[in-house]
Structure 1
């Protein structure tokens, strides 16, 4: 009977711990950073943050081991474990809050997401321990512990300043846009039917005659300038990445804010390219294609305008900014002309 009471008491301790961690996680996810008008030492911040992350990883290991085999921790030991892990989680969230927006919103978002991932992992581990037979190590518990370790380890890979954080965003966008362009090019080169690889009947029945799965000659003509816009998107992101690498500055509030603006505008490119790419598959709705072409062109011209007025744009960058601006206009007008022919 006493053993049952002990298990029940430890269960209550773990349940309280879980509730506290979830509250901290939600505050980090939705909360604002401290405002800081004074000097902020980014290097000191990283040293303290990495130490806090290391502490969470160590405490997670302790609690996982404690509940992996008999005997069950006593109530007193269970409370000590819960207090230690809660303290480490609170410290991590507190150090995160030290980072002011003035160091760059893009950097702060990436550190916030990494912090939330750790807190979410710790929360899931405690849930697994609660839902598993106490005193037994389950595969779920092993997996959850490993998930927290991985989330903690990724802090060493995080960008160390806002310039590096913006480069992470631009690199991801470039990869997605490049993939979308390659998919369209592959579909065009494969066959007349872009759905042949997913819709062919394996049972050898009559081939289907649905022309809605084929591109007409006009469709293929319209796709040309749409591809041109997608290529301009890739070029713009690649060139912008190089400009940020070469000229990006994190020493003033103005340049930090400009880097954030570039990242925010850059993040809109891949969804807009995806929308255009999807609208190109048959049966092609020309009004939808024209709408997506116009949206992507407007976004690219706005991004090029922001690049032109930012500190990353020197004389060398101005050449490609002007070239791409002209390329966007050319492909936009060509796509519209082709769509409206014969309509």
Structure 2
């Protein structure tokens, strides 16, 4: 460790301690009891201040090691101690978030905490391994700033956490639908891959294109994926309008919704991949049935929650009928296949 060899032990200690914290976060939940003194506004204000403090300590260390002469071992120890204290404060406050506030909220907060502490450890390692005053150290400083700033936008209750999840999932579903539509417009071929095959002199076989039966089956499968997209859009609007976090029952309903939402994108991807030629109709049918079941369960969960009201029954029933309409077509087209 050039120019600051006597600081090596303190760097090692901080890296090891942060590594231990990271391992504990990765291993799962703590056994701490619920915090009965939880006050939402005060709690999240404290979290934001801690994340800002952590970013501030990283900035001080980065500036101190931006050029030689580098700080004395004693000053290094003091700076790293403050950084470690801020890091541990963030983790400690994560563990104090009551589980009664929602599992999805805790998962979201845990991921952000784990990401930030990991970036802080990487920053410290960059100096430990001799990257002081290098572009790499500055880049890692910026990464910590970025992750620290994200804490001001964290969801602060389970309602906001499930809306964040729905927004992310909807983006994946829209990408999958867009890719399928582009492939349908291109006749079912991967343009880049086809070019490589042709250049290699292998050519394309009939199996690399959709048959007329395949093309007929595409319609209801695409329709089912559209139902998934529309279901998420309507669920987001209903949650924004009618969702509350006043009781444990209301909060837990968002966790139930999240369990279904997390299954949507993988199921859509499975079905979408099965639609590429050569298409296996039995496989398409199985994946369509799987997606349809996830959608039914999601809509039933939504319809039985506090989020929806009598006015929402019309579009919920419409989506249920759309699922069955597309599945009837898929069953008819895949019989004896």
Give the TM-score of the pair, scaled to structure 2.
0.94
The equivalences for 1:4-43 within 5 A come to 7-32=4-29, 34-36=32-34, 38-43=36-41
Cα RMSD over matched residues? 2.0
- Whole-angstrom CA distance in 2 between matches of 1:23 and 1:118: 14
| Contact 2:188 2:276 survives alignment (8 Å) | no
* CA 1:333–1:25: 2 relative to 1, 3 Å: same
The equivalent of 2:146 in structure 1 is 150
Which sections of structure 1, spanning at least 5 residues, go unmatched?
none
Task: Establish whether residue 315 from structure 1 lines up as the match of residue 310 from structure 2.
Answer: yes
- Whole-angstrom CA distance in 2 between matches of 1:233 and 1:77: 57
| Contact 1:29 1:113 survives alignment (8 Å) | no
- Whole-angstrom CA distance in 2 between matches of 1:176 and 1:203: 31
Secondary structure of 1:251's counterpart equals coil
| Contact 1:163 1:248 survives alignment (8 Å) | yes
| Contact 2:4 2:70 survives alignment (8 Å) | yes
Give the TM-score of the pair, scaled to structure 1.
0.92
In the TM superposition, structure 1's runs of 4+ consecutive aligned residues that sit over 6 Å from their partners are 202-207
Q: Deviations over 1:201-245 (max 9, x none)?
A: 598787824112111001111111111110110111111111111
- Whole-angstrom CA distance in 2 between matches of 1:304 and 1:264: 12
The Cα shift of 1:25 comes to 2.1
- Whole-angstrom CA distance in 1 between matches of 2:299 and 2:106: 25
| Contact 1:55 1:88 survives alignment (8 Å) | yes
Secondary structure of 1:241's counterpart equals helix
- Whole-angstrom CA distance in 2 between matches of 1:218 and 1:110: 44
The Cα shift of 1:93 comes to 0.9
The Cα shift of 1:32 comes to 2.2
| Contact 1:233 1:300 survives alignment (8 Å) | yes
What is the total number of aligned residue pairs between the two structures? Answer: 336
Match 2:53 to one of 34, 48, 55: 55
Task: Establish whether residue 188 from structure 1 lines up as the match of residue 188 from structure 2.
Answer: no
The Cα shift of 1:28 comes to 2.8
Secondary structure of 2:167's counterpart equals helix
* CA 1:142–1:323: 2 relative to 1, 3 Å: same
- Whole-angstrom CA distance in 2 between matches of 1:307 and 1:204: 51
Task: Establish whether residue 338 from structure 1 lines up as the match of residue 330 from structure 2.
Answer: no
